[in-house]
Amino acid sequence: MEISQEGVQTLAAVLLEGTFDGAAGALHITPSAVSQRIKALEASVGRVVVRRTKPATATPDGEVLVRLAKQWDLLTAEARAELLGGDPADPRGPRIHLPIAANADSLATWFLPVIARMHARHPVAIEVLRDDESQNSRFLRSGEVLGAITSDPLGIRGCTIRPLGAMRYLPVATPDFVTRWMPDGPTTDALAQAPMVLFDRNDYIQRDVLTRLADGPVSPPINYVPASTEFHRAVELGMGWGAVPEVQIADALRSGRVVRIVDDHADVPLFWQYWKLSSPVLDSLTALTVAAAAEHLVPTRQPNH
């Protein structure tokens, strides 16, 4: 089986642009040439690699080849930067495109300084794709990112997985909110009436905490605030109660602007998944990520063997 570099790069362009015509424009070739390259690639590997939908999507075998294209791009960029001197302080020097995925709460608390240190130490141009930690694995499967913070303990084919620790969430509200809505504590009746703040409609963390606190199904009024910093500010402003990362709400707790509505917490284990690739840039990003996580996240219990 021979895999053409031209073929996998054309496949990557098709998936990035969404259509064969879009890929043709990006590659400065004709749509017919794009089609011929994809057919030749599929004939070479003996598999269908792209679904001819709008937008075009990769088959599982196509995802493997897209990752290969992105890996080739990374290694080529690293070699070029090394040959040309790649000084991160030189604004005129070449920069390596570094796409990664992170959840909003990590990005708003401990992960942004990691990105800043990477930018200071290496000639990189960083692109962050943001989604829920339970959804970020799809960016790795599709080949869109080199590494991702996920809550998925199962390794993706072609990736290495490193446990980072757990993000601890505390159910909190303002003292006035508790006095008004939960004078007898977070009873089931109170939880059914008291407004909640959710990140979005897929916010499983808040719903899991609500389920643990209530004795039965409840449907409280919901305020949706789809940004991490604004979410915790909405809780501080009394719009509702919510489970907020401990590292994010610590100052408000110490000052009394918010209080814990119950002596309980929710821990969400996080993992760093990244391509199995001999890359100095990716190795450095992994080391910085693991070190920062050890400082800011809660250690997770290791299973007994």
pTM for the model: 0.76
Residue 259: which CATH number? 3.40.190.10
Q: In this structure, are residues 63 and 143 in contact, taking their beta carbons and an 8 Å threshold?
A: yes
Per-residue pLDDT averaged across 134-155, rounded? Answer: 81
Task: Specify the pLDDT at position 302.
Answer: 53
Q: Is residue 222 part of a domain?
A: yes
Backbone angles phi, psi at 267, to 5 degrees: -105, 130
Which residue has better confidence, 144 or 35?
35
> Does residue 233 lie within any of the structural domains?
yes
Reported as a pLDDT band with limits 50, 70 and 90, residue 304 is very low
Is 181 within a domain? yes
**Best CA proximity match to 12, nearest among 156, 143, 169:** 143
**Which tens digit of pLDDT belongs to each residue from 184-224?**
999 999 999 999 999 988 888 999 999 999 988 899 999 99
The count of other CB atoms within 10 Å of the CB of residue 76 is: 12
Tokens describing residue 84: 């040309």
Per the CB < 8 A criterion, the answer to whether 231 and 244 are in contact is: yes
Residue 36 burial class via C-beta count within 10 angstroms: exposed 0-12, middle 13-18, buried 19 and up? middle
In a domain, 297, yes or no: no
For 82-118, the pLDDT digits (tens) are 666 655 555 566 778 889 999 989 999 999 999 999 9
Residue 197, beta-bridge partner list: 223
**42-56, 57-71, 132-146, range with greatest mean pLDDT:** 42-56
Residue 239 lies in a domain: yes
Find the mean pLDDT for residues 287-298. Answer: 96
Q: How far is CA 169 from the centre of its chain?
A: 18
Q: Distance from CA of residue 273 to its chain's centroid?
A: 10
89 vs 278, residue with greater confidence: 278
Q: Are 281 and 74 in contact (CB under 8 A)?
A: yes
Q: Which of 149, 158, 100, 97 is nearest to 128 (CA)?
A: 100
Tokens read off for 184: 């007898």
Going from the C-alpha of 64 to that of each of 45, 143, 235, the distances in angstroms are 11, 8, 43
Task: Output 66 or 258, whichever has higher pLDDT.
Answer: 258
Q: Does residue 197 sit within a domain? A: yes
Higher pLDDT, 133 or 151: 151
- 243 in any annotated domain: yes
- Please check whether residue 227 lies inside any domain of the structure: yes
Average pLDDT over residues 247-259: 95
Rounded distance between C-alpha atoms, residue 237 and residue 173, angstroms: 9
Q: CA 288, CA 74: separation in Å to the nearest integer?
A: 19
Q: How many CA atoms lie within 13 A of 3 on its CB side?
A: 17
The torsion of the CA quartet 204, 210, 211, 215, rounded to 10 degrees, works out to -170
Find the domain containing 182 and state its range.
167-267
For residue 298, what pLDDT is reported? Answer: 94
Question: How many domains does the chain divide into?
Answer: 1
